[in-house]
Structure 1
Amino acid sequence: MITLQQRTIAHFDLDCFFVSVECQQDSRLKGQPLLIGGSSDRAVVAACSYEARRYGIHSAMPMKTALRLCPHAIVRSGDLENYSKKSREVTDIIAGKAPLYEKSSIDEFYLDLSGMDKFFGSLKWTAELRKAIMKASGLPISFGLATNKLVSKVATDEAKPNGQLEVLSGEEKSFLAPLAIEKIPMVGRETASQLRRRGVETVKTLSEVPISLLEAWMGKNGISLWKKANGIDESPVVPYYEQQSISTENTFPADTIDMVFLHAELVRMTEKIAFELRQQNKLTGCVTVKIRYSDFETVTRQMSIPYSCADHILLEKVKELFKKAYDRRLLVRLIGVRFSHLVQGNYQISLFDDSQEMIALYQAIDHIKNRFGWQYLMKGTNVLPPDSKDRHRPATDIMPYLKR
C-alpha cells in the first residue's frame, strides 16, 4: 500500500496560457508586451505577457492603468472559445496517458504518479509527457514534481517559464525555506502584509513560528499556513470525473405549456446553479437542457461552450438549447439544466467578459445571495405575478414579490 510519504505528484501549468495561444495565432506578438482584455476605459487586464509584467502590470488591473504603465503595449480582446478548445486538447492528451489526474483550472493539472517509479521513473515519464503536450499543442508548459500537491505547484512556479523541476523526498522544507511568503499558494496581499508586519518574510521564518501562535494570529488559516511552510500537504489528487457536473430539475405539479412560466423557470434554475458554480469557484464547459413531456418522452440537448460561470452567458446558452429541445407541442412535465465539464478558476475567466462595473455587480449580487439566500435576488424575468401561473412552482421556490 502506498503511503502519503511515498506519493509522487506532478503539477503541470501552461505558461501564460492565454498569451501563448494568442502568440500561436500571430507570431508577431512573441516577445512583445501583450495585454489580454477589453479596450474600453472600464475594461480590466485578463492576462499579460512576461514582457508586460516587467512594467508592473498584472491581471485584474484596470486596462487604463496598464496602458499608462506601458503605453506601447499591444491589446488583444482575447478568444475564450479558442482558449477553451486548446485547454481541452491538452486535457485529452493527459487523460490518455496519466493514471490519475485532476484538472484544477483551465490551464493547470495535477497528476498522481505514485508507484510509477518501479516501472518507468516518474521524472523521465513526466518529462516525456511534457514534450508530447508541447509537440501536439504547440504551447509551452512547465511542471514540478514532488511528494505532494503544494510543493509540486511551487516547484512549477520556480521552473517557469517553460521548464521543469523535481523536489526529492525529504528536501521539501529546504526547497521552500528561502522563498518569499507570497510564493505559498493562497497567501495573498493581505495575509502577506500581516505576516511581514510581524517580521515574517520568508517561508523558513514562517515554518519556525509556533503553530499555536500562528493560530492565535490567523485562526484556522494559521494552522494551514504552518503546514504549508513545513511542506506538509495531504490533499489528494481528485479524479477529474468526480467533479463533472452540477444540475437541477423541476417536475411540475401540473403539466404545462405556459411558455412565460417555462422561460422564467429556466432563468431561475440557471441562476441557481450558476451561483453554486461561483460559490465553488468553478466554471462549466458544457451546458445541457432536459425536457420531459406529458407522455414521458424525455429529450436532452447539450453544447460545449467556452468556460464560464456568468449568468448572462449561461442563460443565453440555456435558452438556445431549450428552443432546440422543445420540438413537440405537448404539455411539459419536467425541465432540467445541467452544467458539466467543470474546472476551477472563475475569477480570471470572468475578466474576459466583464468591465470593472460588471465584476463589481456580480460580487455585489453574490454577496447578497450569500447573506439572504440565492432566491432573494433574481432577474426580473423570473418574478412571476401572483396569479394562476404560480401553481406550477413549488411553494418553497416562489420568490417574494420584491416586497422587502
Structure 2
Amino acid sequence: MDLVIRNARVLLDGDIRPVDIGIAGSAIAVIASHLDADARAIDAEGCLVVPGMIETHIHLDKTCILDRCRIEEGTVAEAVRETARAKRSFTVEDIYARARTTLERGISHGTMRMRTHVELDPGIGMIGFEAISQLARDYAWAVDLELCVFPQEGLTNNPGTEELLIEGLRRGARTIGAAPYFDSDPRAQIDRIFAIARDFDAEIDMHLDLADSADGMQIEYVCRKTEEYGWGGRVAVGHVTQMSLLSRKRFAAIATEVANAGVAVTVLPSTDLHLMGRSHDHAIPRGVVPVEPLRQAGVTCSISTNNVLNPFTPYGDGSLIRIANLYANVCHVSRPGDLAGCLDMITTSAARLMRLDDYGIREGGPADLVCLDAGSAAEVISALAQPLWGIKRGRPSFTRPRPVLHVPVN
C-alpha cells in the first residue's frame, strides 16, 4: 500500500459510507471501514470523496478570446462570426497558452476527464488539433483529455472541411462532432457525420437544436439515424434548447424516443442562458432543458461548461460544480435526490456518456479521487462545495486549502 485516504465519506451502493481507501500504485487496492496499513495517509476529515469530475463538452481551442471579440448582439450568429474572425490570427502557441489557462483552472476544480471539441475547417486547418493534442500529452498527469473534431462553420457548405475531419480521426481523435444548424443542409451534415463515424468506429457528439423556437428540430432525425446505424450509446447531443420550448406531452414523447435510441444529452446552462431569448422583449425563454424528466425516461445526461470567456459564453472559472449549481437554480432543482443527480451528471452519468469503463470508486479501479468540502452529494451542489484536493492515478494533482478567517483577538 502506498497511500491511505482516511475518514472519507464515499457513495457506495446508493448510500454514503465512512471508509478508508487504500491505494497501491495508480489503483484503488482496498476500501474498508478501517485500514491498518503502514503507508502515507491523507485525512479526508469526514468530507465526501468522489471520482474525478468529468467535463463532457468544452471548447479549449477558442477559450479566453474576449479581448479579441465584440459582443453587441449576444446571438449565436454573432458569436460564430466574431470567433471566425478571431480564428484567422490563431497559432499553435496561442491556442496552447489559452487552452492551458482554462485546463489548469478545471484541474484545480476537480476535473480529471475531459472531452474538448476542436474546430477543423479550411480557414484554421489542423492548428487547433495540433495545439490541443500537445496539451493532452503535457497534462496527462492530471487529466485525460479526449479530442472531438467538428465543423463549427458548416460541412456540406464548406468544401475541404470533411477531409480535415477525417484527418483528425486518422490522427487519433476518437469522437466526431457536428453543428448542423450552421449548415445549408442540416440533415446532409448529420448523414455525413454518421457515415464518417461508422467508417472510423468513432463516437458522435453533436451540437444540436440551438434556437429560440421549436421550428426545424433535428433531435428525432438524429434518433432515427442512431437506430439505423446501430450507434445507440455512442451518440450525444448538446444544447437542444428547442426542447425547453415544448409542451409537457411533446417533451415526454421525445424523451422516450431519445432513451430508446440510446442518445445521450448534455446541458450547457451558461452558454444557453447567455445566447437564448435575444429576440424576445418579455417572457424571455432561457433555453436550458430540464433533464430530470429525461433521466426518469432513461436518458443518460451530463452537465458541462461548453465555452469559457469568449463570445459564446463570456464567463467561466472551470468549476463544474458551479455550472451544476447554475443548472439547479435555473431548473428549480431542490429535492435532495435531484440535487444529488446534478453531481451524478458531472461524475458517473458523464462517464457513462463517454463510455468510460475504468471509472468509479471501487477496488481495482483507478485512483482518481477528489475530496469535496461537503458531507453529502446534495450539499455539494446546494452549497457550491469547494474541492480540497485531488489524486490522479495515485499521485496528488491539486490542493485547494480551506479559507481561514482571521478573527480579531480582544
TM-score (norm 1): 0.27
Where relative contact order (Cα < 8 A, 6+ residues apart) is larger, the structure is: 2
Structure 1 or 2: more helix by fraction: 1
The structure number with the bigger radius of gyration is 1
